[in-house]
Amino acid sequence: MKILIYAMAIVMCALTAKGQSKSNTMNTDKLTNTTVKKAIDALQSADSNGWFALFTADAALYDDGNKMNFRSFFEKALGHERFTSIDKVENNGLDLYGRFHSDQWGDFKTYFRFHIDATGKINRLDIGQASY
């Protein structure tokens, strides 16, 4: 009986680990800007402390050209929105294009355009739907 329980526990751990690695892993090799990579890693892992630490206190957010409240937008989005692939990187690693998942809006192509100030903090982020 102990062997059966032990075997079932191993199988359950393996299945759980397999599911977790598949859903949480995304290739970020194309990200060449260190700050942008840290931001995307924080977004992907829903790390709000890590995410907000990379931005200035007055960071601007534009969603499809519309000014939004940066903090409240990402307080709601973190943990519910993420890239599923990074397809293209431009502008010295500051502009990303890829497939994106939102629990609210579904799956679509998007862009993120990061603007970094002289201190190395992100002071503006433009996001929106992309066609490429």
pLDDT at 22 over 80: no
Residues 6+ apart with CB under 8 A from 58: 123
Percent of the chain predicted with pLDDT > 70: 81
Residues 6+ apart with CB under 8 A from 114: 33, 35, 36, 39, 94, 95, 96, 122, 124, 125
pLDDT at 18 over 60: no
Rounded Cα gap, residues 62 and 125, in angstroms: 6
For the domain 27-129, what is the CATH code? 3.10.450.50
pLDDT at 11 over 80: no
Per domain, the residue ranges of the chain are 27-129
Look at residue 55 in the predicted model and tell me its pLDDT: 98
| Burial class for 66, CB neighbours closer than 10 Å (0-12, 13-18, 19+) | exposed
